[in-house]
Structure 1
C-alpha cells in the first residue's frame, strides 16, 4: 500500500482550496470521497469532481448552517444504513440558470456556505444535496459528512465542503488500491477519517496553540 498523507498535509491543501481524498473504514462504506472547501469551489473544480469522481455531488453543512438556511430533512424518518442526514436539495436563488451546470452548482455551494446567507438566498428543490453533520464532528460520527465540516473548520474556513464519491470508470466503487492510483494520477493528497479522528483527539489535549498557519485551530461547537 502507498503511504498516506498526514492530516496536517490534508488540512493545508483544504486551506489552499485544493481537492483531497478521504477514505472511511473498510468495514463501513469502504469508499473514498473527493473533498474541497465549499468557499473555495470553482466551476473547474466542480467539473473535475463530477467528471472524474462520478458520484453524487453533495455539500456538508453544520447543524447551525442548515438552520440558518431553513433546511429541513429530506425524510421524516431516516432509515438509511449509516444515517446520512440529507436535507432537501437546493439551488442558489440568484446567479444561476438551470442549476445543473458546473457554474451554477459552484455558485449554489458558495452561497450555502456564506455566513450571511439566509433562506431567501436559496430555493428548493435544486441540484446540490446538502448533508448535515453531527455537532461533534468525526468524534461523534465517523462519516465523510462530518469529515468535510471538520477539515474545513480546521483549515480556518467556513465549516462546509463539497464532496463526491469516487467511482471507477466501469461504475464500481473505487476501493483503496484504486483510490491510491487515482490520487497519484491527479496529484491529490489522500488520507483516512480514522487519522482525522486521532488528530482531533490529539487537539483536545493541546493547551498551547502553535502558529495559525502551521496548525489549524481547535474546533468549537457549531
Structure 2
C-alpha cells in the first residue's frame, strides 16, 4: 500500500472512531457504487436527512454475522417462501445480505428521520451489548423491535471481508478497526442527473467539498483482511 493510500485509510479510520461518516467505493467490477457509511451508534436524525438528500439510496443498517446469529436474524431470502425469493441471479454477488426490515417499538410510523435514527441507535446499542457478552436473543430482540419496518437490516458474511467484499462487510471491517460496535449504516450515493450510481469522480468531489474521507474498497481489503 502506498503512502497516499495509507493516509486515506488512516483518515477514514480516524473519522469513524470520531463518529463521522466515510465514503466507500466498492469495486468497478462489482456494484461500482459509492456508499456513505456511518458508525450506527453515532447516527442522529440530521444524518438520516443527509443520507436522504445527499445520497438518495436505501438507508440500511449492517450487523456482523455473530450479532445477527445471536438474535436470530436470518437472511431474508431464507425466511420467505414466495417464488420471487428463490433465484436472485445477482450479476455482482452470490447472494443478497438483506435480513429483516425493522422498527423500534417506541417509534410511530418508523419512517421519519427521528424514528429511523431511534431504530438505528437502538440496533447499535443491541449490537454493542451482544458483542460484550450480554445475554440477548430472539425473544429480547422481538421485545424491542418489530418487523416489517423501515430500517433495512443487512447481515454480514461470517468471515467478513475474507468471505465477501460488499459495503456491508467493508463498513463492518472499518468499524472493527476503529473500535466501534459491529453495526454500520450504509446508503448508496445516486446521481441526480442520470439516476444511476454517482460516478467515483463525483463522489470524490463531494468528499472534498464536505471534508469527508473517501476510500476505495480495495484499500480496505488490502489493509484489513
**Which of the numbers 120, 124, 145 marks the counterpart of 2:147?**
124
- Compared CA separation, residues 178 and 80, structure 1 to 2 (3 A): farther
- What residue in structure 2 maps to residue 99 of structure 1? 110
- What residue in structure 2 maps to residue 210 of structure 1? none
Task: Give the alignment's TM-score, normalised by structure 1.
Answer: 0.84
How far apart are residue 185 of structure 1 and its match? 2.1
- Equivalenced residues, count: 198
- What residue in structure 1 maps to residue 99 of structure 2? 87
- What residue in structure 2 maps to residue 24 of structure 1? 26
How far apart are residue 193 of structure 1 and its match? 1.0
**RMSD after superposition:** 1.6
**Which of the numbers 154, 159, 165 marks the counterpart of 2:177?**
154
- What residue in structure 1 maps to residue 160 of structure 2? 137
**Which of the numbers 170, 183, 187 marks the counterpart of 2:211?**
187
Matches of 1:107 and 1:80 in 2, distance apart?
34
Higher share in helix: 2
Greater relative CO, 1 or 2 (CA 8 Å, sep 6+): 2
- What residue in structure 2 maps to residue 63 of structure 1? 65
Task: Give the alignment's TM-score, normalised by structure 2.
Answer: 0.83
> Could you tell me whether the CA contact under 8 Å between 1:65 and 1:113 is conserved in 2?
no
How far apart are residue 145 of structure 1 and its match? 0.5
Matches of 1:135 and 1:71 in 2, distance apart?
13
How far apart are residue 88 of structure 1 and its match? 1.5
